[in-house]
Structure 1
Amino acid sequence: MSVEGAARRVRGNDYRVLRPPERFTPELRVSVIIPAYGAQDKLDLVLQGLARQTYPAELTEIIVVDNGSTPPLRLPDGTSARLVRCERPGRAAARNAGLAEATGDVIHWLDSDVVLTPGAVEAHMRWHHAAPYLSVTGYIRFTAAPLPAVLPDDLEAAFEPAEPHAWLVGLVERTEGLTNNPVRPFSLHVGGATSVSARLVEAAGPMDEDLILGQDTEMGFRLYQAGAVFVPEPRARAYHLGPTMRMRDQQRIDRVSHAFVADRIPAYQWLRTHPARRWKVPNVTAVLDGTAGYEAVRAAVDALLASTVADLSVVLVGPWDTLDRDRRAPLQDPDLDLVLVHGHYEHESRVLLATREEVHPSVPFVLRLPPGWVPGEDSVARLLNLARAEGLGLVQVLLAETPGGVVAARLERVSALARARLVARPGEPLDDAVDDVSGVRWVVGEEYGFGNEPVELVGRRAAYRARVRAEAEAARLAKEAERLRAQVAKWRDEAARWRRSTVELRREVGTLRRQLHVARRGQDGVRAVLARRMKRVLTKRTRG
């Protein structure tokens, strides 16, 4: 990776700051992983397409994974690819088998019915040489043309007319190339023609083999959580030989996929419509010190469990493994508060009693609450709304100022902190890097419902209704302020019009005065002339 590329930081998903060069010196190795089941004729064409790539062959590793084909797949003579057998059914298992064999700096997923144009791999790799945290997806066109025995030189002539990947193209166009703060940029991760930094894949983990469908999107979400930037590359073109299963039966595919991915992708809030159920991966996890005293811990945890955000879990960190439950005099136990906290929440499914911080890596947001502070029932929802609306990576909640410094809660966007760790310079505070890649905002805790005393819980519905009323009142006041601003503007316009009228009137009066003055001078001149004439006449008459 170039020094110039390392110095640039991508804010959100605006990868345009990277500006990869048109010409670069290839250095990174790429492992192309092709899961395949049957269809030897299509696989042969795919391998022929890979043999024509402009990216150096010595930096390209091709791994074909036979996912239980009968008869077994074979590699054409002269190919540099390796063949791996995977008996576990499913494309995710086959990809993981190939991943276990891969040695490249970049992992390039490729389906066994997708033929790359000659410059496709190079178009991918120019981005990966610019930054080590990218997921790059090429543009696939779907062809119904008959399969040739040998791949022709002119792929366009052979496979056009073809249909574009309409969903992908639509997503890119709606979000200005996926740069305008897209809500779900990870949706771009499709297994047909996507390349990913091997470091990101290692951080995110392999594909989920328990999923029936939707494995590509689910892994894309985990890559996003690990700090990935998602790049659509139109010059990385490819032809899909025939339609996909989704194109043939999208509604049934979505029905199956949505049943499983809702549990694993909290960003799909539109799939989580149940008002109270618990999901495998919560949208928010709150981390608290479980040793802060029974009453203080209980006040904070109970408020969190009553939050208007039901999609939430709590981690209480403490030395729970050291507690002695067999003491004969429990009231004399020096660890009595710990015992009470443990006993009170041991069977609460949304609370995890952990000896160290344990947050599922796919949780999008983590709330860190200092001891002694209690959120309001709508506090978490309001912080989430702020973070989403402004694309923030960190919201700092100012709770108190002490001689030793400020006391603050933190709402962290996990993906932003992961990105910040990837780009932080030695010795640089992590929050500064978060501010660069996503944004940091300070708010006052009191204004967001935080306090240091237990509060009476009114219930999720009542808290939600209170928020709705507050938002309605805020909207009413905003509307009234807008009306008053419009009225003031109208008065200003009216005053300006009167000022203009006054100026014009003064100008007209001045003109009339000047005209009158001229007229008076003219009259005086006429009188003088008449007087002189009369004088001459009288003089003549007198002399005569």
Structure 2
Amino acid sequence: MSATSPEDRPQPPDGGGVARVRGNDYRVLQPPEHFTPELRVSVIIPAYGGQRKLDLVLQALARQTYPAELTEIIVVDNGSVPPLRLPQGVDARLVLCEQPGRACARNAGLAEATGDVIHWLDSDVVLTPGAIEAHMRWHHTAPYLSVTGFIRFTSAEPPEVLPDDLEAAFEPAEPHAWLVRLVERTDGLVRGTQRPFSLHVGGATSVSARLVELAGPMDDELILGQDTEMGYRLAQAGAVFIPEPRARAYHLGPTMRMREQKRIDRVSHAFVADRIPAYQWLRTHPDRQWKIPYVTAVVDGTAGYDNVRATVDALLAGTTGDLSVVVVGPWDKLDRDRRAPLKDPDLELVLVHGHYEHESRIHLATTEEVHPSVPFVLRVPAGWVPGEDTVSRLLNVAKADEAGLVGVLLEETPEGVTVARLERVSSFARARLVARPGEPLDDVVDEVSAVRWVEGETYGFGREPVELLGRRAAYRARTEARAEADRLAKENERLRAQVAKWRDEAGRWRKSAVELRREVGTLRRDLHAATRAAQTAAKTGVRFKLPGRVKRALRRATGH
């Protein structure tokens, strides 16, 4: 997908009266147990072979408690040989998709769908009768939700006809362990996770059709990881992700990921790292560029060559390397015939254009063009120079406080206030979905996430250009600092071990001294007793013999 300007993207509906979810805390929605169904749902089933399992899936859909007149079923045959067929009496449409790949098949079904909600369903997942209703009760509360059901994996042989008692037919079955762990450790995905979009799995997930329109279709260039990548784009469009344990289903047999998880992750990670900036743990290289940067800075290119260069160069030299810069200006109107450059009325623009035309991380745009998958947008007034760590420190504020906006107060004068802004794209997308006409968007962002303000000077902003160490130098400095810290830590451990050794040795000495004092005391008592015995023997004329233990003690004491 290419970058688009805000006016070119699908616009969200008027948010008047729409419930406002803060972060991913969907508990404020409180769907009723009983509701009047109004929304249409399109169930899209991509399939390649597996006619017997598909028949069972369709039988399960026919038993759903959600009204059939509001349910549209689209089966996409992704090149099966022999071709798939719809069983007699099944109310569904069969669509052919000759282009291979599940993403292509889902997109083919999406193009045919007319529902208010899109329900992805795999061709080997059998829904329990109340599953779709459990999904739809949520979608009736807000138009920006992604709801995922709970799948259990059964190894039971698929029956010819689906029995009434699914539990008896398919249990014992294994739960979706990864999903269960995610939900449990995040209190139902309400807190403690920076990546709730991971919940978007294609086997049994429903999404608002309007949200899919805003995010765009499945990425058919990906080999694996399409579900997660689309989940990320849904999050960027403002989605709230909800696990619904009452939407239960049985997966007929294990998945390929269950059989080959390490190999699949290896393939998936090689591609999704370029497309999901939130997976920073996959972006460990200090210098390389990615298809979707983590931060895009926007700078006014008409503010003068020196001002623009001071700001842009400092951004490029900062410690946050996963960054691009959009320099906005009327580049398409520049006169290319520059016979007298010093007399050119557009000289400042010409210099900016010429200086950055071939820098790969700079995009010279006539309007603000930020790729919709970029997580953060930083707006910096030209002429203000961020410090080496400014961007990373602002990102830390946004992450720590889960803020949708970090405002930076740069300067306050009688003419007004100058600010820089770090905006979380997903928070602003959510705010646009729920904002009432004329309502200040920053106020809505404060409701759905948080707004934080900091002082520019404290975070490294200044007006004077500084020496640019560059990311390599900064990385080298950090590496050297880490190496020195590691060395000091190891030296500290060595000294601790030495101190522990000395303590053990001192303990042994103290123990030996105590034992020696005890032995000396015993020897004194024995000698005293022997002396008295000798004196008595001398008086009586009896021959005296020194006790053996006294002899041994004397030998130990004298070494003889």
The question of a shared fold, defined as TM-score above 0.5 by the shorter chain, is answered with yes
CA offsets 1:240-267 (integer angstroms, 9 cap, x no match): 0000000000010001000000000000
SS in 2 for 1:288: strand
Does the CA contact (< 8 Å) of 2:146 and 2:208 recur in 1? yes
Alignment partner of 1:235 is 2:280:
no
1:126–1:4: structure 2 CA closer, same or farther, 3 Å change rule?
farther
Matched with 1:504 is none
Matched with 2:20 is 9
SS in 2 for 1:397: strand
Matched with 2:330 is 319
Does the CA contact (< 8 Å) of 2:236 and 2:375 recur in 1? yes
Alignment partner of 1:71 is 2:77:
no
Matched with 1:147 is 158
* More divergent stretch after superposition (322-331 vs 23-32): 322-331
CA offsets 1:349-394 (integer angstroms, 9 cap, x no match): 0000011111010000000011221111110000001101111000
Matched with 1:276 is 287
User: Which amino acid in structure 2 is aligned with residue 8 of structure 1?
Assistant: A
Does the CA contact (< 8 Å) of 1:34 and 1:112 recur in 2? yes
* More divergent stretch after superposition (24-33 vs 320-329): 320-329
Matched with 2:137 is 126
Aligned partner (choices 412, 418, 440) of residue 401 of structure 1: 412
Matched with 1:490 is none
- 1:277 shift after superposition: 0.3
Matched with 2:373 is 362
Q: Output the CA distance in 1 between the equivalents of 2:344 and 2:30.
A: 64
Matched with 1:22 is 33
Q: Output the CA distance in 1 between the equivalents of 2:419 and 2:474.
A: 23
Alignment partner of 1:392 is 2:403:
yes
Q: Output the CA distance in 1 between the equivalents of 2:59 and 2:146.
A: 25
TM-score by length of 2: 0.82
CA offsets 1:476-535 (integer angstroms, 9 cap, x no match): xxxxxxxxxxxxxxxxxxxxxxxxxxxxxxxxxxxxxxxxxxxxxxxxxxxxxxxxxxxx
Q: Output the CA distance in 1 between the equivalents of 2:25 and 2:473.
A: 40
- 1:469 shift after superposition: 8.1
Does the CA contact (< 8 Å) of 2:15 and 2:436 recur in 1? no
Matched with 1:535 is none
Does the CA contact (< 8 Å) of 1:5 and 1:131 recur in 2? no
Does the CA contact (< 8 Å) of 1:181 and 1:391 recur in 2? no
Alignment partner of 1:381 is 2:392:
yes
User: Which amino acid in structure 1 is aligned with residue 369 of structure 2?
Assistant: E
- 1:466 shift after superposition: 7.8
Does the CA contact (< 8 Å) of 1:9 and 1:423 recur in 2? yes
Aligned partner (choices 452, 457, 474) of residue 463 of structure 2: 452
Does the CA contact (< 8 Å) of 1:5 and 1:130 recur in 2? no
User: Which amino acid in structure 1 is aligned with residue 97 of structure 2?
Assistant: C
User: Which amino acid in structure 1 is aligned with residue 52 of structure 2?
Assistant: D
CA offsets 1:13-67 (integer angstroms, 9 cap, x no match): 0001111100000000000000000000000000000000000000000000000
Structure 2 unaligned spans of 5+: 1-13, 486-560
Matched with 2:356 is 345
Alignment partner of 1:208 is 2:219:
yes
Does the CA contact (< 8 Å) of 1:124 and 1:136 recur in 2? yes
SS in 2 for 1:448: coil
Residue correspondence of structure 1 range 508-519 to structure 2 within 5 A: none
- 1:171 shift after superposition: 0.6
SS in 1 for 2:224: coil
- 1:404 shift after superposition: 3.5
Residue correspondence of structure 1 range 277-292 to structure 2 within 5 A: 277-292=288-303
SS in 1 for 2:206: strand
Aligned partner (choices 73, 78, 88) of residue 99 of structure 2: 88
Q: Output the CA distance in 2 between the equivalents of 1:365 and 1:25.
A: 39
User: Which amino acid in structure 2 is aligned with residue 87 of structure 1?
Assistant: E
Residue correspondence of structure 1 range 424-503 to structure 2 within 5 A: 424-460=435-471, 463=474, 465=477
Does the CA contact (< 8 Å) of 1:36 and 1:111 recur in 2? yes
Does the CA contact (< 8 Å) of 1:318 and 1:355 recur in 2? yes
Does the CA contact (< 8 Å) of 1:29 and 1:104 recur in 2? yes
Higher relative contact order (CA 8 A, sep 6+): 2
- 1:7 shift after superposition: 4.7
Q: Output the CA distance in 2 between the equivalents of 1:462 and 1:344.
A: 22
Does the CA contact (< 8 Å) of 1:6 and 1:130 recur in 2? no
Aligned partner (choices 190, 196, 200) of residue 179 of structure 1: 190
Does the CA contact (< 8 Å) of 2:19 and 2:141 recur in 1? no
Matched with 1:188 is 199
User: Which amino acid in structure 1 is aligned with residue 156 of structure 2?
Assistant: A
Q: Output the CA distance in 1 between the equivalents of 2:480 and 2:178.
A: 35
- 1:323 shift after superposition: 1.0
Matched with 1:31 is 42
Q: Output the CA distance in 2 between the equivalents of 1:402 and 1:52.
A: 68
Q: Output the CA distance in 1 between the equivalents of 2:114 and 2:40.
A: 8
Give the number of aligned pairs: 470
1:170–1:156: structure 2 CA closer, same or farther, 3 Å change rule?
same
Q: Output the CA distance in 2 between the equivalents of 1:127 and 1:62.
A: 20
Does the CA contact (< 8 Å) of 1:6 and 1:131 recur in 2? no
- 1:5 shift after superposition: 11
User: Which amino acid in structure 2 is aligned with residue 187 of structure 1?
Assistant: S
Q: Output the CA distance in 2 between the equivalents of 1:5 and 1:175.
A: 30
Alignment partner of 1:250 is 2:252:
no
* More divergent stretch after superposition (457-466 vs 175-184): 457-466
SS in 2 for 1:92: helix
SS in 1 for 2:284: coil
User: Which amino acid in structure 2 is aligned with residue 88 of structure 1?
Assistant: Q
- 1:160 shift after superposition: 0.2
- 1:402 shift after superposition: 2.2
Q: Output the CA distance in 1 between the equivalents of 2:299 and 2:192.
A: 31
User: Which amino acid in structure 2 is aligned with residue 174 of structure 1?
Assistant: R
SS in 2 for 1:356: coil
Alignment partner of 1:306 is 2:317:
yes
